[in-house]
Every structure is written in structure tokens, then in C-alpha cells.
Structure 1
Amino acid sequence: MAFKTIKRPKISLGERFYLQSILGGLWITIKHLALALAGKSRNKKELAGSGIGVTMQYPEFRWDKHLPPYYRGYPVLVKGEDGRERCVSCQLCEFICPARAITITPGTVKEGDWDKVEKAPKEFEIDMLRCIYCGMCEEACPEQAIFMSQDYLLTPTDRTQSIHNKARLYELGGTRKGLVNKWNQYK
């Protein structure tokens, strides 16, 4: 079997101690320091800062105005314009959730409520400690019943507050306008 010996290149002393990388990082830090001391740091206007640094002064100023429209907060359930539940307990969101954060117990609908709906969730829970905020539950929902909110302030004080039940999810979600497939008489 033929083989070829490959000689490794010699590493200089500067490369051995990562001098080039260290000096490059220090240069960036010194540049930001000089801009901050001159009061010309980046994002001064957007973050409502004093120009010293690029950190937002959090309790006084928040990201609400700066959030992009594609921001994914935590998942919530929504009701229709007339206050009825949109969720039909199809459990697609539970099956597609990679973190297994959603738990649904299907229930039956009272007789005469809706003609086309056969199920509604008896229990619906989302464990926010397990949720990875991926948005797959929103994409899988055929009835537009679950949405990713624009809220980012979710601070539970204990473990039980981070498990949102059906009532809490509807409270956070509110109502949503638009066509709902299960109430479409032409479907």
C-alpha cells in the first residue's frame, strides 16, 4: 500500500500564543470604547441610550416598539370573534411539538352547540419550561386556534405558574379575527 508523508507546517510564536486573534479582539473592544466615550455608539437612538454603550435601559425602555413582526413569543390559544373556542382538539400541535410541551385531553361538545364540530379540548396545557418557542404548533393548527404571541415578559416565580392551562391560554390569547375553517358553511 502506498502512502505519502505529509509534513505539517511550522507554527510561528505569534500563532502559537494566538497573538493575532487576541490583538484583533482588543482592537474591536478599543474601537467600541472610543465610540462610547465620544457619545457616538451604535443604536443610541433606537435603544434610547445615553450613547455610552449599546445596552437598553430595561425597566424604563422596552423592546415593544422594536420587535420585528416575525417575533415568536410564547404560544397562546385564541377564541373567535363571537367568543367560541377555535380549537377542535385535533391534537396536531401536541404530536408535532418537538419538546412535548403540549398536553391535550379531548372532550365532547355539548349537543346542539355546533353542527360541524365533534370535539373540543377538555384540558389543554402547555408547559412553558419545556417549550422551545419554535412555532411548529402554530403552523400545524388547521383551525388557527394557537398563535405565537408578541409578548416576551413571562416570568413565573415557581414551577406551577409556568404550566399554562386552558383558561390561562385563552386569557393570554384573547380573540382573533378572520375566517375559521370549522365555522365555514361552504367547507
Structure 2
Amino acid sequence: MAFKTIKRPKISLGERFYLQSILGGLWLTIRHLVLALLGKSRNKKELAGSGIGVTMQYPEARWDKHLPKYYRGAPVLVKGEDGRERCVSCQLCEFICPARAITITPGPIQEGPWGKVEKAPREFQIDMLRCIYCGMCEEACPEQAIFMSHNYLFTPTDKTQAIHNKAKLYELGGTRKGLVNKWNQYK
């Protein structure tokens, strides 16, 4: 078996001490510093800054206006136009959740003519500390009862505040107007 020896290239002193990389990083930092001192930094208007730096001033300025439509925030439950719960306790979102953050206890519907046919969640909980905001629960729901909201401000102080129950999820979600898109023949 033949071996081929490969000679390593000679490394200069500048390459050995990473001088080119260090000087490139310093040049970038100095350029940002000069632009900030002149008040010409990038994204000054979008980030509502003073021109010194490109950091968003968080409590005063928020990302709400800059979020794209496809942003996946916290999952919420929605009601239909008629005020009924859209969730029918099929438990598909619970089964598909990779983090096992959703817990559903099904129960019957008491009011209306749907009482013998449909179910509704007796308990619906999402552990927001376990949720990974993947959006699979939204995709699996045949009734479009669970949506990923644009809410990203979530700061619980203890674990009990991090578990959203059915009432909290409906409060955050509100009502959703329009047809259920999965059954809309014109979509």
C-alpha cells in the first residue's frame, strides 16, 4: 500500500497569531463606533434609537410593528363567531406536541343541540415552560381552534403562572372570524 505524504504549508507569523482576523474585527468595531458618534448608524428609525448604537430601546420600543405574519408566538385557543368553543377535544394537538406541553381532559357539551354529538375540553392546559413554539399543534387542529399568537412577552415569576389553563388561553386568543379554512372549498 502506497502512502503519500502531504506537506503542511508554511504559516507566517501574522497567520499564526490571527492578526488578519483581529484587525478585521477591530476595523468593523471602529467603523460602527464612528457611525454611531456621527448619528448615522443603521436602523436608527426602525429601532427608534437616538442614532448611538443599533440596539432597540426595549421597554419603550417593541417589535410588535416589525413582526412578520408568519411569526410563531405563544399558542392560544380561539372561539368562533357565535361564541362557541372551536375546540372539540380531538386531542390531536396533545398527541403531536413533541415537548408534551399540552394536556387535554375531554368532556361533554351541555348546552345546545350539539350536546350528544360533540365534545369540549373540560380542562385544557399548556405548560409554557415546556412549549417550544413549533406550531405543530396549530397545523394538526382540524377545527382551527388553536393558533400561534404574536405574543412574545411572557415573564412568569413561578411555575403556576407558566401553566395556561383554558380560561387564560381563551382570554389571550379571543374570537376568530371567518370560515374554518380547512373545510373551505374555495381556499
TM-score, scaled to structure 1: 0.90
Report the alpha carbon displacement of residue 118 of structure 1 after superposing the two structures with TM. Answer: 2.6
Please tell me the residue identity of whatever aligns with 2:12.
Answer: S
Q: How far apart are the structure 2 equivalents of 1:15 and 1:100?
A: 50
Match of 2:121 in 1: 121
Q: How far apart are the structure 2 equivalents of 1:43 and 1:108?
A: 53
Q: Are the aligned partners of 1:93 and 1:141 in contact in 2 as well (CA < 8 Å)?
A: yes
Match of 1:109 in 2: 109
Report the alpha carbon displacement of residue 64 of structure 1 after superposing the two structures with TM. Answer: 1.6
Post-superposition Cα deviations, 1:41-71, rounded to whole Å, max 9, x if no partner, equal 0000111111000111122222222222211
What is the total number of aligned residue pairs between the two structures? 184
Q: How far apart are the structure 2 equivalents of 1:27 and 1:183?
A: 57
SS of residue in 2 equivalent to 1:42: coil
Match of 1:19 in 2: 19
Q: Structure 2: which 5+ residue stretches go unaligned?
A: none
Is residue 144 of structure 2 the alignment partner of residue 147 of structure 1? Answer: no
Post-superposition Cα deviations, 1:147-185, rounded to whole Å, max 9, x if no partner, equal 01111111111111000011110111000011138999x
Cα distance change on mapping 1:181 and 1:62 into 2, 3 Å: closer
Report the alpha carbon displacement of residue 6 of structure 1 after superposing the two structures with TM. Answer: 2.0
SS of residue in 1 equivalent to 2:124: strand
Q: How far apart are the structure 1 equivalents of 2:91 and 2:83?
A: 21
Q: Are the aligned partners of 2:138 and 2:147 in contact in 1 as well (CA < 8 Å)?
A: yes
Runs of 4+ in 1 over 4 A off after TM superposition: 181-184
Name whichever of 139-148 and 173-182 sits farther off.
173-182
Match of 2:35 in 1: 35
Q: Are the aligned partners of 2:73 and 2:133 in contact in 1 as well (CA < 8 Å)?
A: yes
CA RMSD of aligned residues (A): 2.1
Cα distance change on mapping 1:93 and 1:46 into 2, 3 Å: same
TM-score, scaled to structure 2: 0.90
Cα distance change on mapping 1:117 and 1:17 into 2, 3 Å: farther
